[in-house]
Amino acid sequence: MLIKLTLTATFVLGYIIPFSYYFSGMKSRNRYKRALVLNVFAIFGGIILTTILAYNPDLQVLAAEMPGTTAEAAANTGLATGLGYIAAALVTGLSCIGGGIAVASAASAALGAISEDNSIFGRSLIFVGLAEGVALYGLIISFMILGQL
């Protein structure tokens, strides 16, 4: 129940309050930056707090009382599984961010080059595809991590 309340508070503090602050006044760049910073800190703070609450030893004792499991096995399994999901999320997220940055640079350079000479379209498309492959490799690694859980 405490985790559900924390996630609800994270939603309210992370989305509703920053965007109502931004839309309530005159829309400016500083107002947008403040709303975005509040959004990021509230979301990540709520996720960290929920993660800490989820790995509370008192909650793991309740899971250990299930038939056929010991307290130590339940605690180790819960921590390993949770860290596996966090690793899969980090691999996917960071590889997609890196791929997006690479595609943004390669695609803008490719468009500038194509506008001067149409014959280099194929070569520029290869570079954009290679940059996009970074995100796909991260997704494949994420599936491999999830397959081990």
Stated as kind and residue range, the H or E segment containing 76 is helix 71-116
Contact 138, 94 (CB under 8 A): yes
| Residues 80, 7, 30: CA angle, nearest 5 degrees | 115
Q: Which two tokens stand for residue 64?
A: 């250990």
Kindly report, residue by residue over 107-137, the tens digit of the pLDDT.
888 888 888 888 888 888 888 888 888 889 9
Kindly report, residue by residue over 42-99, the tens digit of the pLDDT.
888 887 877 777 776 665 555 455 555 555 555 556 677 878 888 888 899 899 999 9
Contact 142, 91 (CB under 8 A): yes
Kindly report, residue by residue over 79-94, the tens digit of the pLDDT.
778 788 888 888 998 9
